[in-house]
Structure 1
């Protein structure tokens, strides 16, 4: 490399480091009022104090069991729900600053959502082309006429592995399998030229034999189209297969996060360890014996301070009943856990002092 080329690379690296994340949440929370009557003061804490980042061309898996807050996070990012507190930033700009229909449409085309149920997400009355063409007309003003929109619809359908695209567009949803319908969901999102796709349990309703194909579609779209993904799943094995980073949610909190292989090879939060133990081994009998697996889910209606996993945790200490743990950096780069026992730093010190 010449000196000129080497010197030119330095500013580029500095610019990349200074660039804000594609999407960032800062202390994001969403609480729902529950109970009968207008005067009810009980609140369900679906998402509590979640800070996360997603970078360009990155697949981040958000993992947890039902009720952990994963889908609420997706709906907050999709602006289906408004935050109770905290902030969402897209390309450095707060979503609270988006005003007017044009700004809202631009964000929704940049950050579309693929839903869990491929059988309910397509209107059975219309051909496949209808939803894609309608989205192109609404979100792609650069396509001036129906001919250009049809050509783009064919392109995105073939980009998700359905060929010939022109023939697929003329089919009705009932003429397609569940896996094909879910690919159409990705094609609809891709038609908007997105920067980030929110994929909420996109393979959970599909046969195991075809799930791998959809995960490969996500990986290919990242490589060929430059799209980032927030992949929401309860299946930690599929998260390992497709994601760059993993975030584990429990009771509305992120309890562990980091590079996928680092987290799954050396899980530091007891809940992450439980999720890994629950992955079936084809050579072992289907038995679950841990007390943690049999315990009740966390109480998230007006929860008291403390770790929400403490009733299921075999490592719980006195501090777990009194102090809510926060994410603390661990030895491996970018690896964090919210655990009084395993994480170093202030949480661990508090645990030692109380116990």
Structure 2
């Protein structure tokens, strides 16, 4: 694989600050019409920190708010409240076109569906060359073509001189997704938001994309926010794991610590849902009972309380916040105890 030179920014706002950080990040959507509109709480009071050259996985079931966070960080959505800080600078203060363009180049997004993220009317080089023209206008046409070939080879596609002139329908799903990473890499990014990039690919292809993320972190110094519902892939590639449920981060910490010693009952439920290849096919997953989360005008209290086998009275009235329970291991649970795993059982 062709190596990628490490990109450093001498204009970094605060070198000692995290690469990206959110504080009380919130996004609500108005739903319904008439005199009594309701609010869907997609993301509520989320604090996330991603450091340089770090892969952070954000895991949870569909509808938990994972993709909304990615779109907030990418600038697709505007926060309802809260703030995003990039290298110590508030993103809301980046009002000029130049600043906004620079931020979007530093924090690009790779989408879930490789079949719809590329325009079928253009060759696969179109998006890469367009990004280069937008974010590196000083390059000549020849230099843009050379750079496009370089980033295509950097994501494991060769020969680039042939592949870059094909149309999307001529590539496999895995190749298309690698082109998505090449488009992001053309920006010389600091953080790539990977929104379930392997969920629509065959199992045999997924490992190659996960290895690509690890290689780009090593060779190009890129950090990743890897959004997934697959705990196994998060364990394979991520340094830290964040568990999200109904718009809240309910647990976070080093990946192995979270998976080996889950503190929140929802994390335990996710781990219990991972099939054991040694178990008989007739064995059912236990512990998932109760109602789905209520995220439209939710009342105070833990949003997992209707499904939690360890619920106490406080869970119905007080919304738990993340608290430190170990070395970098946090959980938002009233009954979680330090240095003691929670293995929820069906009552």
How does the TM-score come out when normalised to structure 2? 0.91
Matches within 5 A, 1:202-241: 202-241=197-236
- Quote the residue 2:4 is aligned against: none
Whether 1:33 aligns to 2:30 is yes
Aligned equivalents of 2:292, 2:119: Cα separation in 1: 35
- Quote the residue 2:114 is aligned against: 118
SS at match of 2:267: helix
Question: Hey, which of these two has a bigger chunk of helix by percent?
Answer: 1
Aligned equivalents of 2:285, 2:105: Cα separation in 1: 46
Whether 1:64 aligns to 2:60 is yes
- Quote the residue 1:21 is aligned against: 18
- Bigger CA radius of gyration: 1
* Number of corresponding residues: 324
SS at match of 1:312: coil
Whether 1:334 aligns to 2:328 is yes
Aligned equivalents of 1:228, 1:289: Cα separation in 2: 35
Aligned equivalents of 1:181, 1:237: Cα separation in 2: 23
Aligned equivalents of 1:36, 1:302: Cα separation in 2: 14
Aligned equivalents of 1:322, 1:46: Cα separation in 2: 20
- Quote the residue 2:345 is aligned against: none
- Quote the residue 2:95 is aligned against: 99
- Give the Å deviation of 1:231: 0.2
- Give the Å deviation of 1:40: 3.5
Cα contact 2:15–2:87 (8 A) shared by 1: no
4+ runs deviating over 4 angstroms: none
Structure 2: where are the runs of 5+ without partners? 1-13, 339-347
**Per chain length, whose mean CA-contact separation is higher, i.e. which structure has more relative contact order (CA < 8 Å, sep 6+)?**
2
Matches within 5 A, 1:1-355: 19-37=16-34, 39-143=35-139, 145-286=140-281, 287-292=283-288, 294-331=289-326, 333-343=327-337
Aligned equivalents of 1:142, 1:343: Cα separation in 2: 56
Root mean square deviation, CA, Å: 1.3
Aligned equivalents of 1:101, 1:116: Cα separation in 2: 27
SS at match of 2:306: helix
Aligned equivalents of 2:222, 2:28: Cα separation in 1: 30
